[in-house]
Amino acid sequence: MTVFALAVGGFIGTLLRYGLGESMPTLTNGFPVGVLAVNLVGCLVVGWFFTAAEVRWTLRPEVRLGFGVGTIGAFTTFSAFSVQTVELIQDGRLAIAALYVLLSALGGLLLAYAGVCLAKVKKKEVTR
């Protein structure tokens, strides 16, 4: 069951990544906006999901793995980030490569932390 959950999640994440990546064009300066957006969204979602799954919900392990590792793991793409960074460097676009690495690393960490914090926020009770 775990392998099936991972496979289904991976399939969904791959389709989502492809769709979002295709909808966001690369800028004329070669900055890979699509992969950056996908990875940053993935960092926020994975931080939120694994924290919420721990503190708010009781989920079967297959669901946690299927969505967290399968879907979000397939949605984000470290390999594309790495290759695009190397290509920017080889093309002599060092400033763009540095900005891409900085935004990816710091943005990813900040958004993962934001996701963790969002998952820990308790709903306020409405009193009448």
Which residues line the annotated binding site for Na(+)? 73, 76
11 close to 34: Cβ distance less than 8 angstroms: no
Per DSSP (E only), the strands in 4-127 are none
Binding site residue list: 73, 76
Q: Does the CA dihedral 114-119-122-126 come out positive or negative?
A: positive
Neighbouring CB atoms inside 10 A of 3's CB total 11
76 close to 43: Cβ distance less than 8 angstroms: yes
